[in-house]
Amino acid sequence: MPVHSREKKENNHDEMEVDYGENEGSSSEEEETESSSVSEEGDSSEMDDEDCERRRMECLDEMSNLEKQFTDLKDQLYKERLSQVDAKLQEVIAGKAPEYLEPLAALQENMQIRTKVAGIYRELCLESVKNKYECEIQASRQHCEVVPAILHR
């Protein structure tokens, strides 16, 4: 992360003092340093504004760069997911997708059981209808036999 300009200036000023102690230079160097530090402090608000503006622009550039990267990655993810869905759809259409085949097998087994039960139920219903038919015929015959006998008495 960038260091604030004020901290940079203080660090530079400290380094300058250390350098002066080691060099033990002439008084003119010390005077220049003092005048430059005074001018830096006087211009510090102006430099801070410039640094803030520069940092603001850097941050805005970084943010727009990150937003562009995010959008690109989002689009790439969308395209990958879409291609995966298309591939799965092709597997389903071809009848090769396990997510499709397993439930299909269960449904087909269920269908076969229901068809068998429906066939048995149908046969029982037909047998019941035949029995009712035979009962009606037998009742009609008995009725035909009993009615004349009653009438002839």
Q: How far is CA 106 from CA 91, 92, 94, in A?
A: 18, 16, 18
Whole-number pLDDT of residue 100: 86
- 44 Cβ contact partners less than 8 Å away, ≥ 6 residues apart: 5, 6, 9
Q: Residues 83-110: what's their mean pLDDT?
A: 91
CB 78 within 8 A of CB 25: no
Would you say the pTM of this structure is higher than 0.85? Answer: no
Coil, strand, or helix at residue 97? coil
Coil, strand, or helix at residue 56? helix
Does 149 score more than 60 pLDDT?
yes
Span of 38-42, 83-87, 127-131 with lowest mean pLDDT: 38-42
Burial 90-99 (b: 16+ CB within 10 A, else e): eeeeeeebee
